[in-house]
Amino acid sequence: MDFFQVFIELAQSTVRLSTPLILAALAGLFTERAGVFDIGLEGKMLGAAFAAGCVAYISQSVMMGLFAAVLVSVLLSLVHGYASITQRGSQIVSGVAINFVVAGSTVILGEAWFRQGGRTPALTEDGRFGRITLPFADAVREVPILGPLYSGLLSGHSPLTYLAFLMVPASWWILYRTRFGLRLRAVGENPGAVDTAGISVIWLRYRAVICCGILCGIAGAYLSLAANAGFTKGMTAGKGYIALAALIFAKWRPKNILFACLLFGFLDAFAIRYQGYAFPLIGRVPVQFMQALPYILTVILLAGFIGKAIPPKAGGVPYVKER
């Protein structure tokens, strides 16, 4: 197999594996720009994936599965919002609690409902997102270089993959070119000034939390309705934490989030492709090391190459209105 074909296959895997990371990182972007630190991305994705798998199997409708995923994720986000915004509790504790509760409840409910070890039954074609073939993809497939790039890399992905990449410029436009985005960024930097202007800090932060829930719901639905044919126990496998790391690595900027998630997706794709491969001068690398490689490199990149990442000034701090 020539180098170009290997490149196309690695790039395809990178795009697929980075899709939930992009959606989850953008979800965290909205909340953290509003001053709400959300470590519960993992739990919301997992809960959404479980809801999508269950409802899509029962209804045999992929859109009903997507709707259920978004609904469950938004509800979990509102729980986090109530604990950290309304009750001014610890945002870290609230997020970790969501992760633990969802990780346990999905297994218990899955086993109780379907008796398949915490899994949902395999979905049919009607219960999953199919792949979109772009115009003329088959016609140009044999064209050197451009054909494989267009028909193999750009075409043939899930609708949610294209949505994830479109959400990057959309998020930039919302945050930097709309009144809502301006107020959202302001409430993450100086909520007192926003409150003085007569704008509700609480309502703005709740809207950011709802945006986070919608994006996490789509990310979870992608895992069980597009990347897989149903829900499996712990299928997020730390993707929420990697998305949070990508958000910090990107310094809370949408464009940088895209490249950071593609980097982490590539590391994951590389580790999957070369499990058990005998490298020159090194030999066969243990499978366990290759499986841990994306997480190891995530820590290394954050520790040594990120530089100084300055979060929003009011991030993680409950807002108390001055009297």
Candidate from 55-64, 72-81, 93-102, 289-298 with smallest mean pLDDT: 289-298
Checking if the pLDDT of 1 tops 60, the result is: no
Scored b (16 or more CB within 10 A) or e, 289-303 reads ebeebbbebbeebee
Q: What is the DSSP string of 240-256?
A: HHHHHHHHHHTTT-HHH
Task: Name the E strands within 193-320.
Answer: 278-279, 283-284
Cβ atoms of 51 and 93 closer than 8 Å? no
As given in the structure block, the two tokens for residue 14 are 């990178």
Quote the pLDDT of residue 109.
92
**Burial class, 77, CB count within 10 angstroms (exposed 0-12 / middle 13-18 / buried 19+):** buried
Q: Residues 260-270: what's their mean pLDDT?
A: 88
Element (H, E) at 278: strand 278-279
Tokens 């140009």, residue located: 140
Candidate from 64-68, 147-151, 316-320 with smallest mean pLDDT: 316-320
Q: Which one-letter amino acid corresponds to residue 125?
A: E
Q: Which one-letter amino acid corresponds to residue 73?
A: S
Q: Residues 134-141: what's their mean pLDDT?
A: 82
Candidate from 131-145, 171-185, 237-251 with smallest mean pLDDT: 131-145
Q: Residues 27-51: what's their mean pLDDT?
A: 94
Quote the pLDDT of residue 289.
76
Phi-psi region of 130 (alpha: psi -120 to 50; beta: other; left: phi over 0): beta
> Which of the four pLDDT bands, split at 50, 70 and 90, describes residue 197?
confident
User: How far is residue 165's CA from residue 16's CA, in Å, rounded to a whole number?
Assistant: 11
Tokens 């069980």, residue located: 224
Q: Residues 304-313: what's their mean pLDDT?
A: 70
Checking if the pLDDT of 323 tops 60, the result is: no
User: How far is residue 114's CA from residue 144's CA, in Å, rounded to a whole number?
Assistant: 48
Mean pLDDT of the chain: 88
Checking if the pLDDT of 83 tops 90, the result is: yes
Percent of the chain at pLDDT > 90 equals: 50
As given in the structure block, the two tokens for residue 195 are 């409150």
Quote the pLDDT of residue 261.
92
Of 55 and 292, the one with more pLDDT? 55
Checking if the pLDDT of 172 tops 90, the result is: yes
Q: Residues 25-41: what's their mean pLDDT?
A: 93
Beta carbons within 10 angstroms of residue 32's beta carbon: 23
240: Cα within 13 Å, side-chain hemisphere? 32
Domain map of the chain by residue range? 3-237
Per DSSP, the three-state class of 132 is strand
Report the chain's C-alpha Rg in angstroms. 20
Tokens 């580790």, residue located: 271
Closest CA to 156 of 136, 172, 132: 132
Of 73-77, 103-107, 243-247, highest mean pLDDT: 73-77
Quote the pLDDT of residue 40.
93
Checking if the pLDDT of 246 tops 70, the result is: yes
Beta carbons within 10 angstroms of residue 58's beta carbon: 15
Percent of the chain at pLDDT > 70 equals: 95
Quote the pLDDT of residue 237.
86
Checking if the pLDDT of 117 tops 90, the result is: no
Query: Torsion angle of alpha carbons 292, 295, 299, 302, nearest 10°?
Result: 150
